[in-house]
Amino acid sequence: MSAILEVEELRKSFGGIVAVDGATFDIESGSITGLIGPNGAGKTTTFNLISGFYEPDGGTVRYDGRELQDLMAPSSDERLVWGGASGLTFGSLGGVAAFGLAGLGTAASLGVGAVGTGLGAGLYVGQEAAKQAYDGHKNSRPFMLAREGLARTFQITRELGDMTARENLMLAPQAQSGENLVNAWLRRGAVAREEADLYDRATGMLELLEIDHVADERAGNLSGGQRKLLELGRVLMLDPQLVLLDEPVAGVNPALTEKLMDRIETLRDEGYTFCIVEHDMEVIMNLSDTIVVMNEGKKLVQGPPEEIRRNQRVVDAYLGVD
């Protein structure tokens, strides 16, 4: 087995408070890895870092052998479009301004000079703004990871409350042709067929999670447990390679938790990889193949559940003994 996710010397601090301080571990492909630790150990920050939602201050995360930051970086085509578009905005603004000045200038020479100045200034500001906009854009590109098969859920469920449960699921799959406006308008037959398939897939997923009875209910009206399931379903609809689950069974009733665990194990056997943050020790011990214990922003130990259970340092960390 090979590592699908390698975390090395990961560091992140918020305004002087160090949340993750040089964590290093990896996640084996086709395994279930549990990520545990006492409160404030930096689990959630780590989670946000490896799902691309935070940018690390230092260290690397490699997914499938490639660095996360590279995966999330825009391609050269995107850069071109971006720079071009932003430059155009400010170039044209500058042009308009220059044109206005030229129109008012008493002497033609003044006008010409103004056009030149305006264009020049516009281009300069345009270039700067393009750089800014591009940088700002780069930081919020975790969506690139989902496209590569690295998907996550949220600790506090983030259901799309105004949409039905089924719509929540139908949103997830990648490369839907109907997400392109031209297809949505002009190739409606093809889009409709695709939608029919999606509909069936979503219904199947809802049945699997046993929440099909609320398929057409607005997600905002679902109970806490149902939302958890919906969120899991949504992420599975992505057909990911590596699924990061943030407390997947919190608030789910025991019977369903059992089912969920079964389901996750089955999926693992089918080749999916899971990384789970969970407070329920019993769940994590039963489910995980490997467990990573974090404390004070660092990895404390990594190993199979039996080993973790016996490890004195883990017990100390949980009891607050240094």
In the complex, the residues that contact another protein under the rule CB under 8 A are 15, 51, 53, 85-86, 88-89, 92, 96, 100-101, 103-105, 110, 114, 125, 129, 132-133, 136-137, 140-147, 151-154, 158-164, 166-167, 170-172, 174, 176-181, 184-185, 188-189, 191-192, 194-196, 199-200, 216, 234-235, 238
Q: 60 or 203: whose CB is closer to another protein?
A: 203
User: 257: which residues sit within 8 A by CB, 6+ positions away?
Assistant: 249, 280, 283
Q: 158 or 313: whose CB is closer to another protein?
A: 158
Tell me the closest approach of the beta carbon of residue 238 to another protein, in angstroms: 6
Tell me the closest approach of the beta carbon of residue 116 to another protein, in angstroms: 14
Tell me the closest approach of the beta carbon of residue 140 to another protein, in angstroms: 7
Tell me the closest approach of the beta carbon of residue 302 to another protein, in angstroms: 26
Tell me the closest approach of the beta carbon of residue 171 to another protein, in angstroms: 5
Q: 104 or 315: whose CB is closer to another protein?
A: 104
Q: 182 or 255: whose CB is closer to another protein?
A: 182
Q: 158 or 309: whose CB is closer to another protein?
A: 158
Tell me the closest approach of the beta carbon of residue 248 to another protein, in angstroms: 14
Q: 65 or 103: whose CB is closer to another protein?
A: 103
